[in-house]
Amino acid sequence: MIFYRQRILNIFVFLFILCLFLSKNLSAQDFQQLGSFKEGERVLILAPHPDDEAIACAGIIQEAILKGAKVKIVYLTNGEHNEFVFIVYKKRIVFRKNEFISLGKLRREESIKAMQLLGLNADDLIFLGYPDFGTFSIFTRFWDTGKPYRSLLTRISSVPYVDSPSFKAPYLGENILKDLKKVISDYRPDKIFVSHPADVNVDHKSLYLFLQIALAQLKEETPYPKIYPYLVHHSGWPLPRHYHPELELNPPKSFLDSDIKWLKFNLTAEQLDNKKKAILCYKSQTQSSAFYLLAFARKNELFGDYPAINLNHQANLNEKKVSFFGSLKMFPDITSEGNYAENISLASKGRVNYAVLEDGLIIMIEKPENIVYRFSTTVYLFGYNDKVPFAEMPKIRIITKHKNFRVLNGKRLINSNGIYLKLAPSELTIKIPLKELGSPDFILASVRTYIGRDEGGDSPIYSTGFRRININ
């Protein structure tokens, strides 16, 4: 028995040392420093849920206040959907609608306490109150429908919080967009910190998407701010878990050779200590996830976005690999960490390429090596046209399964005439006419891939973050 315990201990020590080695190895990457703040500068922090602002931007908030900048935080949701966390916190199963709402109110109070610790007042915080875990569905399917999105957990279809500026507003995309535009138009931020388009959490993706549309619609009214996306949710990241103030926060391994240009902000010892205290204010979350949340309390914070892809119309694709401008790497988009190392090695071989040919968008998805003919995908294409209300623009999903595919616009299955699909052993090519995307000025595109492997077993999921594609 003693021998067995010693072996377990040795394995644990080895894994811990390995994590430290990887962290140090990754820290050798040369990242640029985030620029300093100026007195009077307006900083806007967009948080999908209460606690995201603390784990991703607590150092930024403190530094901005120190330099005399103004800081405002907008929360997309109150975070009432995390049932497991609340079971741990409440010590019982939560069933009733009002109980979920009370937990959303609790997270609001935790945010106020945490941000006061960092130097903000309750008046600096805006809680929009839209449905936790529902905003991506709203963005893709619920615009001007007459029938709003209904949360499966709370069974609510409008903002339930009386202190929200949009109390009783139906869960529709135009309402979220209107609220976000009002904040930006009134506040006129110089810098916006927002959740990352490659984050695997659906609310984090959707907040980035809503922001892109809001800024596009406001481009003639307000100066365009600098955008700094922060990453929170990614498989197997950050490692090691728990509180490690001696370590740096570095991008996931699968992102190191991507097109993302990462910026680093270094925290002082005092800022880091305050960040830890702010995170611990979220008692409803830390009782079950302190090991994860405190892993973000490190020497620095990270920010970085994909650069936009600019596509010109091409006459042909004779040199396919060259003519596809902007090759985008896929990364693991899974919740399980059991085969994370294997997923990284496979994903490093898979890419997505875009081109415009004969008034059609070409999407070529290169398969990772050792992938069988079986290949399924979901392609998201959200076009923006300056002359068309976004609620009326197509919200396209192309779902492929082997050689078959179907196309949806929001919730509606649409005619796939004119849409071309070709499946080859090494790649999948899709062509969709630009008119089916609303003849867009730009497209927000992402690919989610379901892959069968030679040896069988489960099918890991790979993805690209949402990326802006400008059509010239």
Domain boundary among 241, 271, 303: 303
Range of the domain at 398: 309-471
Same domain, 269 and 353: no
The single residue listed with the structure tokens 């070529």 is 364
CB atoms within 10 A of CB 328: 23
What pLDDT, on the 0 to 100 scale, is given for residue 452?
A: 57
Q: How far apart are CA 364 and CA 205, in angstroms?
A: 22
- Can you give the pLDDT at residue 359? 87
> Burial of 350 by CB count in 10 Å (0-12 exposed, 13-18 middle, 19+ buried)?
buried
Instruction: Kindly give the parts of the chain with pLDDT less than 70.
Output: 1-30, 82-98, 257, 315-350, 368-374, 451-461
pLDDT of residue 358: 81
Give the amino acid at 201.
N
pLDDT of 353 reads: 84
Q: CA 361, CA 356: separation in Å to the nearest integer? A: 5
Is 179 in the same domain as 60?
yes
Provide the pLDDT for residue 165.
94
Q: Which of 95, 92, 159 is nearest to 132 (CA)?
A: 159
Spell out a b/e string for 258-291, using b for 16 or more CB atoms within 10 Å of the CB, else e: bbbebbbbebeeebbebbbebbbbbebbbebbbe
Same domain, 11 and 118: no
CATH of the domain at 89: 3.40.50.10320
Give the Å distances, CA to CA, from 31 to 117, 261, 298. Answer: 29, 8, 16
Asked whether residue 158 falls in the same domain as residue 183, the answer is yes
Same domain, 449 and 327: yes
Amino acid identity of residue 457, one-letter, is G
Spatial CA neighbour of 72 closest among 117, 108, 132, 115: 115
Check: pTM over 0.75? Answer yes or no: yes
What's the confidence (pLDDT) of residue 102?
85
CA dist., res. 314 & res. 332, Å (int): 31
- What's the total number of domains in the chain? 3
Final residue in a domain of this structure, among 277, 303, 329: 303
313 and 410 assigned to the same domain: yes
Asked whether 141 and 172 are in contact (CB, 8 A), the reply is no
Are 223 and 87 members of one domain?
Answer: yes
Helices vs. strands in the chain: H and E counts, helices first:
11, 23
The whole-number pLDDT of residue 369 equals 59
Dist CA 110 CA 118 (whole Å): 13
Same domain assignment for residues 122 and 23: no
Helix axes 52-66, 269-280, angle to 10 degrees: 140
Count of beta carbons in the 10 Å neighbourhood of residue 80: 31
pLDDT, position 288: 84
Asked if 281 and 114 touch (Cβ cutoff 8 Å), the reply is yes
Question: Are the C-beta atoms of residues 189 and 43 closer than 8 Å to each other?
Answer: yes
